[in-house]
Structure 1
């Protein structure tokens, strides 16, 4: 009151008029400012609803986005419901039911709840977008545009009214000051001009201008209020701008990551190669999201533990690596030390690789502990885990089908041999037996006996080879893996030998394809058959190991060893083993051991990488 009395005493009634004008102007300004408070946020939210509608349309049409029985789409619809009913939007809607903005908002909510939302939920994934759904979305976006337009017009009208009031007050003050009091120019007009400049600067998003009044009258207090208001507006605008920038960057990252996942999905399903198909994509995703390293562990159904399948960064070549010409995952020790880990201030995210009924593995993602993993990045990684699960499941199905097809083909060949050649050889053996019973006298008797012996030996060898061939063709790799099949084979030949056959198996899981596994098993069986039948061995050892990138198989015995001519007459087992080794793209070495006996060594490089075979019992 002291400042008011001083001002009234100085300029009398005229100053009172000016004060009254200023008070009315200030009150009106505050009232209009409060009436449009939050309109900017409401306009931004209403505008974002347009982009959100098209995003929902894209999610409804994309089967990868609608995993887990549509839970992703439902969660997006619920978030859209929350944004449509946001408090900032509702506060900007007038209470009057007849107001155009109220009617627009009511129609918008009715269109969303009564039509578009249900059409989005019922839209089939993976197919073309229905024309009705597209038309409904376009109509809905048009309603949003109408509401935003009305809201902008209403806000601009309030701002225009505010400008009119300020101009009127300034004009009246200038007339009074110029006509009556020179002091009025210094104490009233100049502060008003300053405040108007601040208001205009705020309208142009310039919050640096300050009044910095030092007096005690009403205008000085108004200047302080303006300074405080512009300071708060500057903070709010900076926060909104920063948040918008962050959201924009996240959207850009999401767009790039989705493109990357799309390309990676085609690569995974096209070449059936988990390593070369996934590592480049994972490394690009690490660079995009600022995460890594990423490791994939697959569940080994035979030993109840996880087995590392791929990694995006390692100092030493992984033990399971079969391609020494590939350096995709190798990094320098300096680069590796800079990456997040348990020992270098890193945090770990574990995502399950699973189908609807089976857990296939785990995706391990490391990221810096001082940087929280955004919701967008987490969603992208969940999409990645779903893609990997699908690729792994399909590859296991293909592997199982290949095994079944191979077994069926060999069974057909075995039946044909048994029904044709085996019966013919049996008939010839009976005819030779009949010839032996015939008495042939004279000097030709010894000659005929020698011929019959050779025929009998040849037929016996041919019949034995045929029986072994039938056993091979009827051999099914119906065990869970090669290790179990080899153990069964070792047990079989241990019974035939009368002593246990030792098996040393250190081959990593998923090293060989079904065809490579069956050829390896057949070579081992042939080697064991030779050792049991011909070598007169008392100790036999089978060793199967992986010396990256080669598979090494050895059959060692302590028998009598190979003859000087390296292979007995009419014995084709060693030739068959060599043919199988060439089929595997490797070589086989058969030689006498210095300590006695024979060592058969098979060495080859697997031709392709493979996922862990699918186990039907787990399906």
Structure 2
């Protein structure tokens, strides 16, 4: 069973003390009043005994009237004795024999029984009372007076005791009440005022007030509970404020990140350049969210491994970089070493970049291991991966549509050339053949033969170039890059050569626009055609290399080389290759190799945007 609480215990003790004092006071008052009950009657009766003694003495001295005088004294003495032994007197006499009052009463009784009564009864009626008789009577009356005095003193003592008990009870009651008031003030009222002030302060969001109440009663426990509550509220309020600040900062970061993603999405869809459009945005996102570096890998169907397309932090210029004036992703080794990119201080999050049915790439996000990633940051990165997926998918669609459009236009051009220019050239070749059969005599014969040879050579070269152009125009690019088309071209010329033509290709996926791919392919085909038909070569190799930011295409053979080591004059194929190189913004060189053979070198820098130039669409 739970013990009574201290405050209730103190109140119970005080109330019990007051009740006990009241009970004791009432019991003592009752006992004292009971003890003096009848004392006044006893005092009156005792006082009457003195008068009765003198009346008996006077009665004895009076002359007798008749024969009944002696009997009258005896009756009067018996009546007097009954008054002396009256219960109203004897009940006031203590029962203990050694009590002074009991001794005095016993002495009076003995003197009455043994001295005064016998003398009164034996004294002759009507004779004068002698001095002895009078002295005995006065001695008896003095004893009775002393008894009365003792009764009066005893009664007054009891009344004084009653007054003392009442004053003591009153004093104790006053002390207890004062103690109760002081205790209530110190233990109840003052703590209550503190608790009320603390409650008021809590209502005003002031949690610094403390009760600091001592003791183990209910109010002290309540004060301790208030202090603990204030401490917890202070901690909770500070935590709530901190959470509110962190949530506000998180929302501000989220808002800034969303604005950044919105701006980045417009840039990605506007300039069609993943690197220039994504790197600045990703770097701002890293600073905003406290993450990084971020790397983007693209998946290509011609490559078994993902190809890195974007990074936000690198100590060396990436392989795929096409703009050496841009240093956005380059950082110093010191900064790079501080980035969380190893297994000890960093963690990596991989997010797929995909549409509903196609996996386009992977977004690799590094972040500090001790910090982790918040849910908001994960959602923002997922949104970013969705935006990148949309941008990459649309870019690929645009590239494929441009490639298809270009292929369709070139197919139309090839058909028109075949139906018009090719037939005209064939007709001119037949006319030249007819002119050769004519028998021209005289001085003009040699001139006519020279002219016919030049016409025949020009027509044959133009016809061959036309057929090569028609073959190139009819060649379709089935992939966004050059790799498949080059492999088909190498297979075609390997059949014509009778030996495999070597191919070394390392261009990053989507490094070239469809227009750049077509021009590069045509230049490679022209170089291969010249090597197969004119060089008498046994080994031919093709190298298409990306030497950032430049693309280099080399066609080398081990044939007989160029006559006199010089480039042929008025060679239609070389003229067309140079025109194509100028279209690409580059140059082409044809030269003999030191180890023998010819080397055709095409160099150009790819454009930053994958768009079909207007001049090519009109060719």
Q: Would the aligned equivalents of 2:349 and 2:364 in 1 still touch at CA under 8 Å? A: yes
Please show how residues 242-261 of structure 1 align to structure 2 within 5 Å.
242-261=242-261
Q: Is the CA contact (8 Å cut-off) linking 1:321 and 1:548 kept in structure 2?
A: yes
1:389-433, Cα deviation, whole Å (9 max, x unpaired):
100010001101111111122122222222222212212222232
Flag structure 1 segments of 5+ consecutive residues without an equivalent.
Answer: 17-176, 612-619
Aligned to 1:378: 378
Shift of residue 500 of structure 1?
A: 1.8
Q: Post-superposition shift, 1:192?
A: 1.6
Count how many residue pairs are aligned between Structure 1 and Structure 2: 451
Contact 1:7–1:217 (8 Å) recurs in 2: no
1:299-357 CA distance string (max 9 Å, x none): 02112221111011111111111111111111111211211122341111111101111
User: Does residue 1:197 correspond to 2:189, yes or no?
Assistant: no
Seen in structure 2, the aligned counterparts of structure 1 residues 403 and 13 have a Cα distance that, compared at 3 Å, is same
Are the counterparts in 1 of residues 299 and 306 from structure 2 also a CA contact under 8 Å?
Answer: yes
Question: What's 1:297 paired with?
Answer: 297
Contact 2:476 2:485 (8 Å CA) reproduced = no
Q: 1:5 to 1:429 in 2, by over 3 A?
A: closer
Tell me the distance in 2 between the aligned counterparts of 1:406 and 1:368. Answer: 48
CA distance in 2, matches of 1:15, 1:463: 137
SS of 1:305's equivalent? coil
Change (3 A) 1:5 1:498: closer
Does residue 556 (structure 1) correspond to residue 556 (structure 2)? The answer is yes
Query: What is the TM-score when the length of structure 1 is the normalising length?
Result: 0.68
Whether the 8 Å CA contact 1:504–1:543 is kept in 2: the answer is yes
In the alignment, the residues of structure 2 paired with residue 448 and residue 318 of structure 1 have an alpha-carbon distance, to the nearest angstrom, of 62
Query: 1:564, CA displacement in angstroms?
Result: 3.1
> Cα deviations across residues 184-203 of structure 1 (Å, max 9, x unaligned)?
43333222211112111211
1: CA distance, partners of 2:292 / 2:457: 68
- Answer yes or no: is 1:392 the counterpart of 2:392: yes
Match of 1:307 in 2: 307
The match for 2:515 is 515
Aligned to 1:342: 342
For 1:543, the equivalent position in structure 2 comes to 543
Q: Give the distance between the partners of 2:431 and 2:373, measured in 1 at CA.
A: 83
After TM superposition, the structure 1 = structure 2 runs for residues 63-78 of structure 1, keeping only pairs within 5 Å, are none
Partner residue in 2 for 1:602: 602
Identify the range of structure 1 (268-277 vs 368-377) with the bigger mean alpha-carbon deviation.
368-377
Q: Does 1:358 align with 2:358?
A: yes
1:337-392 C-alpha deviation (Å, 9 max, x unpaired): 21112234111111110111111111111111112311111111111111111000
1:436 Cα offset (Å): 3.1
Which residue of the partner structure matches residue 223 of structure 1?
Answer: 223
Q: Distance in 2 between matches of 1:441 and 1:421?
A: 33
- Any conservation in 2 of the 1:11–1:181 contact (CA below 8 Å)? no
For the 8 Å contact 1:269–1:391, the answer to whether it is kept is yes
Residue 13 of structure 1: how far off its partner (Å): 9.6
Counterpart position of 2:580: 580
Change (3 A) 1:423 1:180: closer
Q: Which moved more, 1:193-202 or 1:382-391?
A: 193-202
Q: Is the 8 A contact 2:477 2:484 kept in 1?
A: no
Q: For residues 376 and 593 of structure 1, do their structure 2 counterparts lie closer, same or farther at Cα, with a shift above 3 Å needed?
A: same
- Per the TM alignment, residue 479 of structure 1 is displaced from its structure 2 partner at its CA by 4.6
Return the alpha-carbon distance in structure 2 between the equivalents of residues 215 and 567 of structure 1. Answer: 112
Give, in angstroms, the shift of residue 9 of structure 1: 6.8
Task: Please tell me whether the aligned partners of residues 504 and 542 of structure 1 are also in contact (alpha carbons under 8 angstroms).
Answer: yes
CA distance 1:315–1:554, shift in 2 (3 Å): same
Deviating more after overlay: 184-193 vs 552-561: 184-193
> Does the 8 A contact of 1:354 with 1:360 survive in 2?
yes
TM-superposed CA distance for 1:559, in Å, is: 1.4
Instruction: Decide whether aligned partners of structure 1 residues 545 and 11 sit closer, same or farther in structure 2, where only a CA change above 3 A counts.
Output: same
Task: Name the CA distance, whole Å, in 1 between partners of 2:456 and 2:216.
Answer: 131
Stretch deviating more after TM superposition (319-328 or 434-443) = 434-443
Contact kept in structure 2, 1:322 and 1:609, CA below 8 Å: no
Which position in structure 2 is the counterpart of 1:614? none
Give the distance between the partners of 2:190 and 2:410, measured in 1 at CA: 103
Cα pair distance change 1:441/1:260, threshold 3 Å: closer
Residues 499, 219 of structure 1: CA spacing in aligned structure 2 closer, same or farther, 3 A cutoff? Answer: closer
1:506: Cα distance to partner? 2.1
Distance (Å, rounded) in 1 between the aligned partners of 2:569 and 2:293:
60
Listed one character per residue, the Cα deviations across residues 424-474 of structure 1 (whole Å, up to 9, x for unaligned) are 221222223223333345565555444433333332223222222322332
Determine which of 6, 10, 20 is the counterpart of 1:7: 10
Deviates more, 1:363-372 or 1:200-209: 200-209
- 2:503 is paired with a residue whose SS is strand
Q: Would you say the 8 A contact 2:587–2:603 is kept in 1?
A: yes
Partner residue in 2 for 1:411: 411
Correspondences of 1:128-527 after superposition (within 5 Å):
181=181, 184-441=184-441, 444-479=444-479, 481-527=481-527
Query: How big is the shift at 1:567?
Result: 4.3
8 Å contact kept, 2:271–2:609: no
Q: Which has the larger radius of gyration?
A: 2
CA contact (8 A) 2:565 2:592 kept: no
Q: 2 CA distance for matches of 1:453 and 1:420?
A: 24
Contact 1:340–1:368 at 8 Å: present in 2 too?
yes
CA contact (8 A) 1:559 1:597 kept: yes
2:102 matched to which residue of 1? none
Secondary structure of 2:515's partner? helix
SS at match of 2:329: coil
Per the alignment, do residues 218 and 598 of structure 1 end up closer, same or farther by CA in structure 2, a change over 3 Å counting?
closer
TM-score normalised by L of structure 2:
0.68
Q: Is the 8 A contact 1:340 1:367 kept in 2?
A: yes
Contact 1:545 1:552 in 2 (8 A): yes
CA distance in 1, matches of 2:325, 2:601: 25
Runs of 4+ in 1 over 6 A off after TM superposition: 13-16, 177-180
Flag the 1:298–1:342 CA change in 2: closer, same or farther, 3 A: same
Residues 564/210 of structure 1: CA separation in 2 closer, same or farther (3 Å cut): same
Measured on the aligned residues, the alpha-carbon RMSD in Å equals 2.7
Which blocks of at least 5 consecutive residues in structure 2 are unaligned?
20-176, 612-619
CA distance in 2, matches of 1:421, 1:527: 23
CA contact (8 A) 1:588 1:602 kept: yes
